Amino acid sequence: MATWAPRSAPSRDTRFFMIMALLMALLIVAGFSFNLAMGRSSFAAPWPFHVHGMIFMGWLALYVMQALTIAAGNRALHRRLGRLAYVWVPAMVAAGTMIITVSARTTGGPFFFAQNEFFISNLAGLFTFGGLALWSLRVQRHSGWHRRLMLVATSILTGPGLGRLLPMPLFIPYAWPLANLLTLAFPLIGMIADWRRDGRVHPAYWWGVGIDAAVFAASMALAYSPLGYAVTESVIAGTPGAERPMAAFIPPGFAM
């Protein structure tokens, strides 16, 4: 890891990651705000949704603050805030697992996603985020690895924001793969920036994106296997979520 020595000025590199952090955070906030404005969600949602929202928005605030503090040269505050991430990442995984399960059982998940995709592949993506984020924390002494792995990890979280901004029902039955594919845009921008600036792509991107893509492919294979269907059915059995079709569908009377 220590052999990578970017030829770009640190200040320029730091500004890039600050801008990317702000863009990803703004996209996610915009997606949820748009959903609220359109009446597709409300503050009257059950308490698990509020807990999940506070933890996830807290992560975005922490991620942006980390980008801003290092850009401002405040390494002491950056390190102190960074310690929170060791607690926040597991909290993210726990809260995400809770809300995926609650959503699957109460509504069956968004109708434009197949239930088995939403449950199995969604959990896989959540744990991929957690693994990459913790890896990033473990290699924080190597800033090139640290910031790129954290960018890839956080890009996974942009899926829900993107899904709320795009007309997902129009993409049935490919809405779930499309939403996940679009999250790779942020690491791709980073890879292009590396290539233009240094003439090569940092290996952290290859590892991060490679793991993300491999886990997604494996999760889709599992979701559509007999085991994936059986696990999904066992989770939603006897709940309102079991009343909708397993496959993505258009509800009767639905209009864009």
| pLDDT per residue as tens digits for the range 50-80 | 898 899 999 999 999 999 999 888 989 988 9
What's the domain count of the chain?
Answer: 1
Nearest to 148 by CA among 128, 127, 133, 162: 133
Instruction: Give the pLDDT confidence score for residue 252 in this predicted structure.
Output: 86
Residue 4: count of CB within 10 angstroms of its CB: 15
Mean pLDDT on 100-128: 97
Q: Residue 32 has what pLDDT?
A: 80
CA–CA distance, 138 with 155 (Å, rounded to integer): 19
**Quick one: pLDDT at residue 9?**
43
CA–CA gap between residue 75 and residue 185 (Å, rounded): 29
Confidence of residue 44 (pLDDT cuts 50, 70, 90): low
Identify the DSSP state of 118.
I
Residue 118 CA to residue 109 CA, distance in Å, equals: 7
240 DSSP assignment: G
Whether residue 103 is contained in a domain is answered as: yes
pLDDT digits (tens, 9 = 90+) for 144-158: 999 999 999 999 999
pTM: 0.90
* Residue reference for tokens 């991430």: 85
Q: What is the pLDDT of residue 2?
A: 42
Note the pLDDT tens digit of each residue in 85-94.
Answer: 999 999 999 9
Do the beta carbons of residue 155 and residue 183 sit within 8 Å?
yes
Residue 249 belongs to a domain: no
Q: How many residues does the chain have?
A: 256
| Domain that includes residue 127, residue range | 10-241
Helix (H, G, I), strand (E, B) or coil at 184: coil
Please state the rounded mean pLDDT for residues 168-182.
95
CB 84 within 8 A of CB 60: no
Q: In the predicted model, what is the mean pLDDT of the chain?
A: 91
Does a structural domain hold residue 247?
no
Give me the helices (H) in the chain, please: 10-37, 47-71, 75-106, 115-116, 122-138, 143-156, 158-165, 175-182, 185-198, 203-223, 226-236
**In-domain check, residue 130:** yes
The pLDDT, as a whole number, for residue 5 is 43
State what percent of residues in the chain have pLDDT above 90.
Answer: 76
CB 163 within 8 A of CB 179: yes
Judge whether residue 10 has pLDDT over 50: no
Going by C-alpha positions, the residue among 90, 99, 88, 91 that lies closest to residue 122 is 99
Residue 56: its pLDDT value, please?
93
Confirm whether 70 is domain-assigned: yes
> If you average pLDDT over residues 189-204, what whole number do you get?
95
| pLDDT in the model for residue 163 | 86
Determine the longest span between alpha carbons in the chain, in angstroms.
59
